[in-house]
Structure 1
Amino acid sequence: MATATTPTTAPEEGVESLLAELRALEDPRMRAVNERRGDDHGVNLTKLRAIAKRLKTRHELATDLWATEDTAARLLALLVCRPKAFERAELDAMLRDARAPKVQDWLVSYVVGKSPHAEDLRVSWLTDPDPVVESAGWDLTSVRIRKSPAGLDLDGLLDVIDARMKDAPERLQWSMNTCLAHIGIEHPDLRPRALLIGERLEVLKDYPTPPNCTSPYAPDWINEMVRRSGA
């Protein structure tokens, strides 16, 4: 007579097994491409997102993955963490430690942007002496320009962009340029000034842009998005 067996539960996936899985996904050619942009990993992001979907939200695991300092592991951590669980000081420390551009982008977009500390950090980071940290403040400002511009001094932001963007370090320059474009796109009354600033500074004017993609050069970006919207 057969006896019933109790189903066994698969062991919980931990940091070491996930690091091994990420290492197995490493593609040397992809790493070479990413490293030209400052991102030291070679994991296909679609496959990384599939791992995150399997894990779902695992905040404690996310903090352990972040502590490894491995770029791919940190990207995975940002997808499985609980953004509102981080204290302000934790997010500030994470940004200062997130030197890979993709890690910073995801941290700001997926975590800080969903945190109750987002506005406080935005204001603080905008005046930080570290240009990488300051760039995160401009990234959060771009989000506010698009979604909740009330209370922002847009003319003042244009003053700063006009005075500093031309000679800013690359990552900070890119973030300022994004703000300039969004001001021009979202605010018709300021569009002529935004266009003039972009045309005079010529930041990213010669940036190589694939066919059917929008140039990051602010005047072209603004005009294309306005054309698409019919505004």
Structure 2
Amino acid sequence: QQQLMRQEQQQKQYNQLYQSALMQQQNSLMLPTPGYVAGGNQPSPFPGMMLQPGAAMLPQKAHPQMRGHPQQQQLRIPAQGGKPIKTDASGTQLCSALGCNHAARVKGMCKLHGGGRRCKVEGCMKSAQTGHLCIAHGGGKPCNVEGCPKTAQSRGLCKQHGGGVRCKFEGCTKSCQSGGFCRGHGGGKRCEYPNCTKWAQKNGHCAKHAQEIAAQQLQQQQAMQQQLVHP
């Protein structure tokens, strides 16, 4: 009876993972062609993945939008039940976010997806650096270039002075944006505001529209506070 209950629980976990993967596939179309789970006709969101008690090997192919280095993964179902744990070949727990191969920090997530310490500024969900602050709020180490007030990204330098990741385009030394390329070679994102062609700077919007939206949100908050004080 206990074994039957365990099997039902494992099947329930698989169904949850399967539905989540299907939703991700519909939203982003990033998943590869489905395979099939051993012992049944139900398609699997991952080719070659068999969810059975213990560990199931998942050959991981390189994908341009997957984060981290491609590696062989395992999806382990704990003996006592609970959420399946994704690990690499050495047993290191990986981020549970779909398609992410970074090492997990806290709550099964990497820094990028919410693991690790958060910035102590109220409302900020970015990863904390030194001083319990994110880079945008003054955390991290200052750039080594004399007189530069910006925060160092890597090698003790800010992006402007050579720190951070460089553009992948051969011969280009500019700082990379989204996709691993600089803006001149196709990286970066445009402002999400309708008909705006400027580059996104903050929260998916250019500086002008980010400021306008922030002002509108502040006005709405003030109006709500006034309604609470004077209903």
TM-score by length of 1: 0.32
Which is strand-richer, 1 or 2? 2
Higher relative contact order (CA 8 A, sep 6+): 1
Which is helix-richer, 1 or 2? 1
> Larger Rg: 1 or 2?
2
